[in-house]
Amino acid sequence: MKATSRSSTIEILETRIVPSTLDIVGGVLRYTANSGSINSIAIFVESVNGGTDNQLLFRDSENITLGLGAQGIFSYAFGGQSDVRGSLSAFDSFDLDLGDQNDSLFIDRLTKPLTADTGAGTDSARISNSNNSTPLVVNGALSIKAETIRVDKAVNSATNVSFTTDNLDIGQFASINAT
Q: Which residues bind Ca ion (CB under 5 A)?
A: 33, 39, 98-99, 101, 103
CB-nearer residue toward Ca ion: 98 or 136: 98
CB-nearer residue toward Ca ion: 73 or 96: 96
Collapsing DSSP to helix, strand or coil, 16 comes out as: coil
CB-nearer residue toward Ca ion: 149 or 155: 149
Residue 140 Cβ vs Ca ion, minimum distance, rounded to whole Å: 25
The identity of residue 89, as a single letter, is S
DSSP one-letter code for 92: S
Q: For the purposes of burial, counting CB atoms within 10 Å of the CB of 126, is it exposed (0-12), middle (13-18) or buried (19 or more)?
A: buried
Residue 117 Cβ vs Ca ion, minimum distance, rounded to whole Å: 11
Q: Please, which residues bridge with residue 114 across strands?
A: 94, 142
- Between CA 89 and CA 20 the distance in angstroms is 22
Residue 3 Cβ vs Ca ion, minimum distance, rounded to whole Å: 49
Q: Which residue is nearest to Ca ion (CB)?
A: 99
CB-nearer residue toward Ca ion: 121 or 171: 121
- Dihedral of CA 139/142/24/74: which sign? positive
Cβ-contact 161, 178 below 8 angstroms? yes
Residue 38 Cβ vs Ca ion, minimum distance, rounded to whole Å: 6
